[in-house]
């Protein structure tokens, strides 16, 4: 990224599109960069400005294997933002600071740092902004690549992207070498984001027609697409567009050029027409109202006359959708209809729900509101919603004829095999996980972990036929039900828990530790904890 004259780090890191199989269509994502060091919160920006996606920048170090305090201070806000349905990418690297893959001197250190960040932030979307001399750091690249392979094995739905410096002829040779090395190691790259900024006034005048930053950005993007085609020869042009993004610097750039409101509309139209996966910009905090084209503080303003969030709203006009995928076929097996003791309505985004509300999601699963909320997505906001199993009462018909002979108990009506990582599963497949729980595949998937990839799997309760045993002797008096035989203590953040520990969370629900952990939040760290019925 070109040099910045601001006191803080003004590099750009990728904002990425969540490439989720099984969705009928994926909309282009508009994800501005949000300063970790600035005031204000992501949660407030979502409420006031409609900032539904954002990239938190930057995750850097001061030379030791620990993240900068500015980023750490934003993590509680990040969890709230994600819990409210916000799509968050955390950007590593940038122009300044010591990269984590260099500061952490061994693979385990870097793995643990990233793993803890995923847990603490509530997001599994990480970008790597690699630029300048960092592109030449062989050891850093090798460590990053090895750790990403391990992380993607643990989190199959981990979003991994790279932000790289762009020029009129695409990305440079060092960037291409980094991508080749990463791909060859088996890392799944979700997004390649090209920085399109500070081209130079003379270059715009002599090399770009018309000589606008928007046109230079389009030239850069097209050149980068041709480069990506050599790395992914089996992808179509549309698929390449969908896994690529472009990120300008709004308003005044460091070289004296200006990315204007007209440029923003040009880029939005180009993105919509070409099915681009990502539009972002540097930065949300600079997208503020100012009356004139003054550039006194380019760290806080764009330097062009505009209204609040005008660049964001222009980019949102791109709309559109990218890479439609077939809607999964759901096969319904006919069975007797039980008498339900609960009722639910279809979940509606943005509708106000009271605590205790029960809704049906589009995946066929029911959810119950742990707390009142303004229509947060139940599959994302697991703090506000929990999966709900409707209680069903069976009807019994007693005959007056002579009692029949006892009927042997039938076998359960479902079967499952042990889940195998990497095995291809069809929609509807039922597996048993090592924690003793059964899961059913919502969509076909290549063996994603059921305890992590909750989009692809749902917890499943095997339906078992009831037996009717008719006694010939007088019926004994009913025996009072014994009290539950399990105990739990209140969950405490930071406390060390062993595998099998049972805790009660503040929402009144119990959770059981799948693995030992240092007090990770049960409502966020679903890899380490599972809902538990005493």
- Res 499: pLDDT: 86
Q: Are 180 and 232 in contact (CB under 8 A)?
A: no
- Res 412: pLDDT: 46
| pLDDT < 70 stretches in the chain | 1-27, 320-342, 379-383, 391-414, 446, 451-455, 463-485, 523-527
- Res 410: pLDDT: 44
- Res 217: pLDDT: 98
Using alpha carbons, select from 336, 469, 340, 341 the residue that is nearest to residue 413.
336
Q: Are 171 and 133 in contact (CB under 8 A)?
A: no
What confidence tens digit (pLDDT) does each residue in 84-141 have?
999 999 999 998 889 999 999 999 999 999 999 999 999 999 999 999 999 999 999 9
Determine the distance from the C-alpha atom of residue 358 to the mean position of all C-alpha atoms in its chain, rounded to a whole number. 24
Using alpha carbons, select from 162, 266, 261 the residue that is nearest to residue 219.
266
Calpha distance 373→84 (Å, rounded)? 9
Domains by residue range for the chain, with CATH: 26-322 (3.20.20.80)
- Res 376: pLDDT: 72
The secondary element (H helix, E strand) that includes residue 107 is: helix 107-121
- Res 300: pLDDT: 92
DSSP symbol at 68: -
């Amino acid at each position: 990224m070109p040099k910045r004259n601001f006191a803080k780090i003004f590099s750009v890191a990728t904002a990425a599109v969540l490439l989720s199989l099984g969705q009928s269509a994926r909309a282009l994502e508009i994800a501005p960069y949000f300063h970790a060091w600035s005031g204000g919160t992501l949660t407030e920006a979502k409420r006031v400005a409609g900032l539904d996606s954002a990239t938190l920048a930057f995750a850097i170090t001061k030379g030791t294997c620990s993240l900068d305090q500015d980023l750490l201070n934003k993590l509680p806000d990040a969890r709230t933002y994600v819990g409210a349905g916000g799509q968050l990418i955390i950007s590593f690297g940038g122009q300044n600071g010591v990269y984590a893959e260099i500061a952490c001197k061994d693979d385990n250190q870097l793995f643990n740092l990233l793993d803890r960040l995923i847990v603490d932030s509530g997001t599994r979307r990480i970008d790597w902004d690699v630029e300048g001399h960092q592109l030449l750091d062989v050891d850093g690249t090798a460590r990053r690549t090895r750790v990403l392979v391990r992380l993607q094995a643990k989190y199959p739905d981990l979003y991994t992207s790279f932000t790289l410096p762009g020029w009129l002829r695409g990305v440079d040779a060092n960037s291409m070498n980094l991508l080749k090395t990463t791909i060859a190691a088996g890392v799944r790259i979700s997004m390649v984001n090209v920085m399109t900024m500070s081209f130079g006034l003379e270059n715009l005048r002599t090399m770009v027609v018309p000589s606008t930053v928007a046109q230079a950005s389009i030239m850069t993007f097209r050149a980068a697409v041709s480069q990506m085609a050599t790395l992914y020869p089996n992808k179509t042009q549309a698929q390449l567009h969908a896994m690529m993004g472009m990120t300008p610097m709004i308003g005044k750039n460091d070289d004296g050029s200006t990315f204007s409101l007209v440029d923003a509309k040009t880029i939005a139209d180009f993105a919509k027409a070409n099915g681009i996966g990502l539009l972002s910009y540097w930065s949300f905090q600079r997208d503020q109202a100012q009356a004139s084209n003054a550039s006194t503080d380019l760290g806080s303003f764009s330097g062009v006359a505009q209204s609040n969030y005008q660049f964001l709203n222009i980019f949102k006009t791109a709309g559109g959708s990218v890479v439609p995928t077939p809607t999964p076929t759901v096969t319904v097996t006919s069975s007797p209809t039980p008498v339900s003791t609960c009722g639910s309505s279809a979940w509606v985004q943005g509708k106000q729900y009271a605590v205790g509300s029960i809704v049906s999601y589009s995946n066929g699963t029911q959810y119950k509101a742990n707390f009142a909320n303004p229509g947060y997505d139940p599959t994302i906001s697991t703090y506000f919603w929990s999966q709900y199993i409707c209680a069903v009462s069976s009807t019994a018909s007693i005959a007056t004829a002579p009692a029949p002979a006892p009927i042997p108990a039938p076998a359960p009506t479902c079967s499952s095999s042990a889940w195998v990582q990497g095995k291809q599963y069809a929609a509807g497949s039922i597996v048993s996980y090592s924690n003793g729980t059964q899961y059913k595949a919502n969509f076909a998937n290549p063996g994603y972990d059921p305890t992590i990839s909750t989009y692809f799997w749902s917890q499943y309760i095997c339906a078992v036929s009831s037996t009717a045993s008719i006694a010939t002797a007088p019926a004994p008096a009913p025996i009072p039900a014994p009290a539950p035989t399990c105990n739990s203590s209140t969950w405490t953040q930071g406390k060390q828990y062993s595998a099998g520990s049972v805790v009660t969370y503040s929402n009144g629900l119990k959770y059981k530790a799948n693995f030992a952990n240092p007090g990770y939040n049960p409502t966020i760290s679903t890899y380490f904890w599972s809902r538990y019925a005493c």
